[in-house]
Amino acid sequence: MKNFIIVLTFLVIGVNVNSQESNELSIGDEVSHFSAFDDRGNVWKSSDLNSDFLVVYFYPAAMTGGCTKQACAYRDDKTSLDELGASVVAVSGDEVKNLKIFKESYQLNFPLLSDNEGNISKLFGVPTNIGGSITREINGENFLLNRGITAPRWTFVLDKNRKIIYKNC
């Protein structure tokens, strides 16, 4: 467990944000099952996972500097996370098409979930703001990337029973 927290600490590129939400979850709280559309347009369900740990990290927007660095850090350390029995899932307010572009552009090796309406954010007590749009040029083509909500960079680690054992916000 200690090694897992040490590895996770090196992976988290944190921005401290103070929550104004009253439903914010704490260490020891159990998280209900959740689902969302993933980067392939399929429904991803937390209830389908059988890993010892689940890292759920929220990030503001795909294809932006800090969010890309964070995603690539998880991508690059997948072997260590696998050895610890940890699965990773990333959550943002981006539309599915943004997530597909983000995943393909940076060869991300874990699911990206679209929380366009903020339902998963609300479940975890992560505060949200109104989304927005950015334009990015990818392989010579311009893409307008929309997101319904913007969440801060928060990370949760859940154990096999889906209780929060680590939280960074």
Q: How many CA atoms lie within 13 A of 38 on its CB side?
A: 17
Asked if pLDDT for residue 7 goes beyond 70, the answer is: no
Confidence of residue 70 (pLDDT cuts 50, 70, 90): very high
Question: Tens of pLDDT along 136-158?
Answer: 998 889 999 999 999 999 999 99
Distance CA 162, CA 155 (A): 14
Burial class (CB in 10 A: 0-12, 13-18, 19+), 75: middle
Q: Which of 11, 67, 89, 126 is catalytic?
A: 67
- Whether residue 72 lies in the annotated active site: no
Distance, CA of 61 to chain centre: 10
Higher-scoring residue by pLDDT: 156, 2: 156
The CATH number of the domain holding residue 80 is 3.40.30.10
Map tokens 């975890």 to a residue: 124
pLDDT in tens, 73-123: 999 999 999 999 999 999 999 999 999 999 999 999 999 999 999 999 999
Q: What pLDDT is stored for residue 24 in this prediction?
A: 82
Tally of structural domains, the chain: 1
The reported pLDDT for the residue numbered 138 is 87
pLDDT band at 1 (very low <50, low <70, confident <90, very high): low
Name the pairing type of β-strands 112-114 and 86-92. Answer: parallel
Task: Report the 10 Å Cβ neighbour count for 22.
Answer: 6
Expressed as residue numbers, the domain containing 115 is 2-10+50-168
Spatial contact of 127 and 20, defined as CB atoms under 8 Å apart: yes
Q: Say if 27 falls within a structural domain.
A: no
Q: Look at residue 26 and tell me if it is in a domain.
A: no
